[in-house]
Amino acid sequence: MKRWQGIGIGFLISIVALIYTLHGDDLTQIGVELVRGRYIFLIPGLAFFLLAFYLRALRWRAILNYRIGTVHAFHITTIGNFLNSFLPLRLGEVARAFLATRLTPPIALMTAASSLVVERLTDLLALLVFLLWTISLNVTNPSLVSATYAMGILAVGGMAVLILMAARRSSASRFVNWVLVRWPWLERLRLRTFIEHLLDGLVPLTSITGLTMILLWTILSWLASTVVALMTLYVFYDQPSWVAALVVVEGASLAIAIPAMPGNIGPFEAANVTSLMIVGMVSGSNSPERAVAFGITFHVLLVLVYTILGMIGLSQEKITFGELRRQIVPSRNKPEINATIEP
């Protein structure tokens, strides 16, 4: 697909999402809600924002078996979130894997990539825990219950497969040898090296201590992120709930993956408004305009923090945004990631 076509599709998605979000709303009332906001609550929200990043950096260190320093883990994590907020398809995760290969000593590309798969699955497990908690509090929204069961099956099943692969490494190697005997041309794809690096990234899952620490940092980071959403809700609502904050956080994370305009303008706001509708916060005295005002504020907060921390991270990792973007965004003339970066 040509670049202008991709931009056009993203622009169209943003326009449709904005129409959905603003349909029937009074733009003047949205402005009134924004003016009335109690922005003092953003101060503790920012503190928990930084804490969430720090906890995710500690988790990534644990997944990589402490082969990466805390400072590098923090900066690379912030860079990934910065790029995820501006580029589609969560290309920030690709950037993180690439940046890990530039460290001294370098981490193999597939080892870094497998660590990010573990991250996503542990995120799903953490979300499952929180959603089960909300259901136990008599939250019976059918959409929420269905999403919980679906994510539970996906997360538990995926994690079980990864743990089995990590624990039975010799079996995985024998399977690769069996495949190569029958299809020797796969040797040219370095399949054996690919699998070895992939399994390297799963080593911490074979340790009870390692797995416990990974899950602990995951739960704590989700709690911190939920507090950020809760504090932002307090800007506009007198008694927001933890359930609303959690649903907002998940909706926002899904919106970032949608290929829209830079900054995910439109899908992000639509996800926030929909999340508040799911938990019943767009009714009665809580007008749709208030939900839109919250979505705008939450979006601006995230983009500002992601941008500031991401730019600091790029400076500390000694790479520019343009250089990194050229490495991770595929073009017609080069592969998605330069083939020379894997040690």
- pLDDT tens digits for 202-242? 777 788 888 899 989 999 998 999 999 999 999 999 989 88
116's tokens: 């990010």
- pLDDT tens digits for 267-307? 888 888 888 988 888 877 778 899 999 999 999 998 899 99
* Cis peptide upstream of residue 105 (ω within 30 degrees of 0): yes
CA distance 101 to 197: 12
Could you state, in order of their start, the residue ranges of all structural domains in the chain? Answer: 13-18+26-341
Residue 83 in this model has a pLDDT that exceeds 80: yes
pLDDT at 88: 65
The model's confidence at residue 341, banded by pLDDT at 50, 70 and 90, is: very low
The model's confidence at residue 7, banded by pLDDT at 50, 70 and 90, is: low
Q: Is 201 in contact with 64 (CB distance < 8 Å)?
A: yes
- pLDDT tens digits for 206-217? 888 888 999 899
CA distance 106 to 104: 5
CA nearest to 205, candidates 110, 119, 127, 93: 119
Residues 6+ apart with CB under 8 A from 251: 271, 272, 274, 275
The model's confidence at residue 13, banded by pLDDT at 50, 70 and 90, is: confident
Crossing angle (nearest 10°) for helices 42-63 and 208-234: 160
pLDDT at 325: 83
pLDDT at 139: 58
**0.85 exceeded by the pTM?**
no
- pLDDT tens digits for 118-167? 888 788 777 777 767 666 665 556 666 666 667 667 767 777 777 777 77
Looking at residues 182-191, what average pLDDT do you find? 75
pLDDT at 336: 40
